[in-house]
A and B are shown apart, each in its own frame.
Chain A
Amino acid sequence: MAKELFEGIYSSHKIVFIERVEKNLQFYLKNKIVNIKKAGQEVIVEVDKKDLKEVLFELKNNTEFEIEILNSINYFKSKNNYYVLLSLASVSNNFSMLLKVKCKTNLREELFESPPSSDSQGNSNRPGRSGNIGNIKNTNNSTLHSQINSGFKTTQAFLNEYNEINTVISEFYPNAVFYKKNDNLRKSFNDIIIKSQILDGLDVFDIYAKNYDDKIDKSYLDLNISEIYASSPGIFNNIDVTKLLTIISRLDYSAGIFPELCLVLAVEDLLQIKIPKKIFFIRMLVSELFRISNHLYYVSKISLLLGMNLCLNRALIERERILRIIESITGSRIHPNYIRIGAVAHDLPSEKLLNIKNELKVLIENIDNLETLLLDNTIVTAKLKDIGIVNKNTAIKFGLTGPNLRSCGMRYDLRKNRNLLLYKEISFLVPIGKYGDCLERVQIRFNEMYQSAKIISQILGQIPEEKIKKILSLKGVEIKRTDCLASVECPHGVYKLFFEIEDNIILNLVPITSAKNSIFCAQVVLEENKPEDIDLILASFDISGSELLQGLYL
């Protein structure tokens, strides 16, 4: 069956299901929808701001949809218009969608209303981002940069409108409040202040907490510092797909393959390219290797905070081993730059496969030893147990995904729930927890590493012997301006990429990641825990700093 599906004789049941959802949306929302589009196994729906309340009411209460989860709120600017992106998901109907809300604020109108900004580098007539790409291509680099810089600034008019939209959303989804900017909290919660870079690996936010009776009363994680990165906008925007592929792994430095994979999957879905089986297997192999590498990095961070320096060094040694395997396949360790449209950069000869097989045995034995060393220690378990507990309901409310969600007892994994790559051909388990405390979150990671090793060993047995054909180039291909969306199961959670594409240029790249969900959940979870456990609880959520970059797309 899988082979027939792969050859395209039957469309998968998931695609059929999504088509049904699309039809239902068209039926129930009728003239409120400006535009509807199926992207991969998800739906993108564009609505107007004035209809938002009715649309959200319908989506939440209609039994055909029953959308309970708000995963994220993002915003971007396209063709002189601001858009707010809502990532929504339904547990009971097992689908997710993207709601694109068109705002009233028009850039052209603002030009006359707002005074010229001081940091627009003397550019008196602020044109903003032009919708016509041809113009931008022809301008000089310096003028282009100033244009982009001035265009990326959020204006007060838009922020006011964003707040209005946020209040509407928070009527249906209470966690939308967290996406509002609130600097007053910083001043009121000042009993404990932990600035960024004090904690290892958690250097993208400051922590402000209110202390009461030796316990944290309320906490606020300030993400302002992550906006520093916005000083270099345009790195990920307005560039060629092939160029973007070389740098996109920086969006997740602990598991660099996943942004690449996500981008390529979206483009392949748009072009409806048929891909050889071997490439699917190679992609799965590399992504599982990166999953193990990321989880080992996670274990090293946790053991550093626990003071188990022996485990820290053991984990780093094993990570070194796996990074060398990755290097032998892709050519680099952290930023792979490996996946191409319709192919991968280098072929994988059978000699390397044997090498991986031998290394994998040693690796799994050592990881097993590492687990006994770390989790058989009663003091460690006593320390991790019963702190930072996340309920099933809280996890759903904040839209957690990935291992953090699975540790609460929800079995949700894109590898199983969607037709991601060729995971259907491979037998593996999705480990779940029960209580959702820090200990479970660490245990889940260990179990996932074993399952990844199981997947890799199956891939090594099943990988077909064929030569990979030429890599596709998008040069000269004419594509109309369209929205693209794809999602993969990253080690931190679900990783989504939304972007607009025209010809072979990527515009308005919006990464929709799980890091913010984890942070907002952590804010609530930190309450009634001890101040000494702050670092452990935050580290147990596996928040990737690079996923929190703000202002990238504005």
Chain B
Amino acid sequence: MTTIFLKVLYLFLIITINLYIGAYLVNKISARSEHRRGFSISKAGWFGYPALKVLKYLEKSYKINIWEFLLLFLSFFIWTIIPFSTWLVLIKLEGDLIIALLFYMMLIFIFLINASRSSYETIYQNVSRNVLMAYSFEIPIIFCVSSIVLINRTLNLKEIVGFQYQFWNIVYQPLGFVVFFTAVFLQIKLFSLTKTNNLIFKQNSEKEISGFGRFIVRVAYYNIFYFLIVLIIILYLAGWQNVYFLNGNILFILKFYIIFIVILLLDKATPLLDDYKYLISINWKFLIPVAVANFLLTLVFFILRNVYSLI
């Protein structure tokens, strides 16, 4: 009983501290990469800045509706399935990979329902477009995941990490990694953390969605951001596996922040993506064909190796 309590406490601490650091980094790195000075309140300091922001949201209004509550609950509940190390996992399931992806899709769907309450037509239109685009990016992700499942012959995330003790999956699946990373990056861009289209969002949504509800939506965005990064690390970069004498848990943190910063910098190097035709053309002309080709290649190798035992 105490171990479960400890695990929950650890998880909660890890997530909240990361949210804290993430909010700071998003502000500071994005400012530095844009040749700006960045946000700095002299009295609050770097430590007090995210807390101050929460207070600012709370000051406006503290009411939330049921969908916002569900958003908050699900965005934290998703971490119960994701393993952070051999010990730190709350619910042990056989096919937790599939359930994690389903949870993620559900989380996005709640965004859509939340947006449908809006009295502005443009907000609902754009969120629904974003959600549909995010779903369409799930197609290459599913192909990539299934080729990894073929290699590792398991649906359990913990076992997938265990399989990578010798070679990381990125060695077997370089193409898959590229596709997976781009799909994740584009999804993060869709739920843009650092930029929004002024014309469509800023003027209306800031009047309507302010206060604690907006804080929850932002927390959910950050959770999605972290969830996708952790998925990349577990599937391709060997999670918490030790490398020679280096501790796996520390490596996990390092990998997490490296990918986090790389995505932030890429986000700054690319313009706002609200051109859906362009996104669709990327998806159907690059991501899906490459993902399918990668999957077929792995399938051929799988058959040659396991059915005919030629390799």
Residues of A bordering B, CB below 8 Å: 194, 198-200, 305-310, 312-314, 317, 377, 379-380, 382-383, 532, 534-535
Contact = CB atoms under 8 A, between A and B. Distances in A.
Given A310-B269, A379-B273, A535 B33 contact: no
B198 A198 contact: yes
Contacts of A307: 195, 197, 271-272
Given A309-B34, A310-B34, A317-B35, A383 B199 contact: no
Contacts of A305: 198
Contacts of A314: 35
A317 B37 CA distance: 13
The 10 A-B residue pairs with the shortest CB-CB distance, nearest first, are: A307-B272, A306-B271, A313-B35, A307-B271, A309-B34, A308-B271, A310-B34, A307-B195, A535-B199, A313-B34
Nearest to B197: A532
A305 B271 CA distance: 9
Contacts of A379: 270-271, 273, 278
A382 to B, nearest CB: 5
Majority SS at the chain B contact face: loop
Contacts of A380: 271
B271 A194 contact: no
A119 B272 CA distance: 49
Interface in B25-74: 30, 33-36
A203 B99 CA distance: 50
Contact of B195 (A194, A309, A383): A309
Contacts of B159: none
A310 B35 contact: yes
A310 B275 CA distance: 20
Interface in B174-200: 195, 197-200
A84 B200 CA distance: 41
Given A310-B34, A383-B275, A377 B199 contact: no
A300 B30 CA distance: 18
Contact of A306 (B269, B272, B278): B272
10 contacts: A198-B198, A305-B198, A306-B271, A308-B271, A309-B34, A313-B34, A314-B35, A379-B273, A532-B199, A532-B274
Interface string B160-179: 00000000000000000000
B198 A199 contact: yes
Contact of B200 (A309, A313, A532): A532
Interface residues on B, range: 20 to 34
Given A310-B35, A313-B34, A534 B268 contact: no
A310 B33 contact: yes
Given A313-B36, A379-B278, A198 B272 contact: no
B2 interface: no
Nearest to B273: A379
Contacts of B30: 309
A197 to B, nearest CB: 9
A198 B199 contact: yes
B203 interface: yes
Nearest to B268: A310
B272 A194 contact: no
B103 to A, nearest CB: 30
A149 B197 CA distance: 43
Contacts of A382: 275, 278
A496 B198 CA distance: 35
A308 B198 CA distance: 13
A372 to B, nearest CB: 13
Interface string B73-111: 000000000000000000000000000000000000000
Contacts of A383: 271, 275, 278
Contacts of B268: 309-310
A534 B198 CA distance: 12
Interface in B229-282: 268-275, 278
Nearest to A306: B271
Contacts of B33: 310
B39 to A, nearest CB: 14
B176 to A, nearest CB: 23
Contacts of A532: 197, 199-200, 274-275
A312 B30 CA distance: 13
A252 to B, nearest CB: 25
Contacts of A310: 33-35, 268-269
B35 A198 contact: no
Given A312-B34, A383-B278, A532-B197, 9 more contacts: A194-B199, A306-B272, A309-B30, A310-B33, A377-B269, A377-B270, A379-B270, A532-B199, A532-B274
A312 B35 CA distance: 10
A379 to B, nearest CB: 5
